[in-house]
Structure 1
Amino acid sequence: MAPYPPCWSGACEDPECCARGKKCRWPELVGKSGEIAKMTIERENQNVLAIVLRARDGRIDNFCCNRVFVGIDTNGNVLITPQIG
């Protein structure tokens, strides 16, 4: 199985467009557990898959409407605002 879902973006190139009326950014999760953040994101927007990664892990550079990277520190806490992309 691939580590990431197939990318879907359509004509969208920004989180607001992709969200289609649902939430696209989660600033309130900064400092929270990465796993809690993943569950929260996927509950609040069922169209995305949240992927928890350590800050030093590589990321895919393409923009996808169905993906949210959740960057965590060495303690497993969210470092920056997760958003669709």
Structure 2
Amino acid sequence: MTAAGDLERCYTRINDYEACFGDLNVSGRESENKFYIIIAPEEDDLEPYLYVLSAEPQGAQERDKDGCGTFTLTHRGERGAGADDCW
């Protein structure tokens, strides 16, 4: 995810993910293939030292029956999805 990479680069400069979200305008970005839209935590849920990004399926991907649904990625690189073999 490009958004996660952008957050990590910002964090190495200012040591605060919460501030990075404001600087980078992460939420609402489309994935490179335009199959997903990136969702950032709500402003009240932002933390300076952690994050969880979500990638919600869009268009044809939303109708896909693979069971993956929404993907998640944390600041520690932990990955989640609706099924085990999605990543």
TM-score of the pair, normalised by structure 2: 0.29
Higher strand share: 2
Higher helix share: 2
The structure whose RCO (Cα within 8 Å, separation 6+) is larger is 1
TM-score of the pair, normalised by structure 1: 0.29
